[in-house]
């Protein structure tokens, strides 16, 4: 299943690259979104955040929502 991951610019730390467009990932249909978090975090650290921003990034504060803003069930 193709997924497009976007980060709300208001949610990024002040010292991050705000030019992030989106991250595309292929996920198995019978998977859980939390299992994709390590891949998404690696992308964010490699492309968007500097070392300071990566230190304050906490996976337990993450959530997923649809384009209309409604939260996705895990």
Contact 71, 63 (CB under 8 A): yes
**Residue range 16-68, pLDDT digits in tens:** 655 666 788 898 888 888 888 888 878 777 766 666 666 777 777 777 888 88
Predicted pLDDT of residue 54:
66
Q: What is the pLDDT of residue 24?
A: 87
């Amino acid at each position: 299943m193709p997924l497009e991951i976007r980060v709300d610019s208001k949610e990024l730390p002040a010292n991050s690259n705000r030019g992030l467009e989106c991250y595309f990932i292929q996920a198995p249909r019978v998977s859980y979104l939390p299992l994709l978090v390590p891949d998404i975090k690696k992308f964010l650290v490699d492309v968007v955040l500097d070392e300071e921003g990566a230190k304050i990034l906490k996976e337990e504060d993450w959530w997923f929502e649809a384009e209309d803003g409604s939260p996705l069930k895990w």
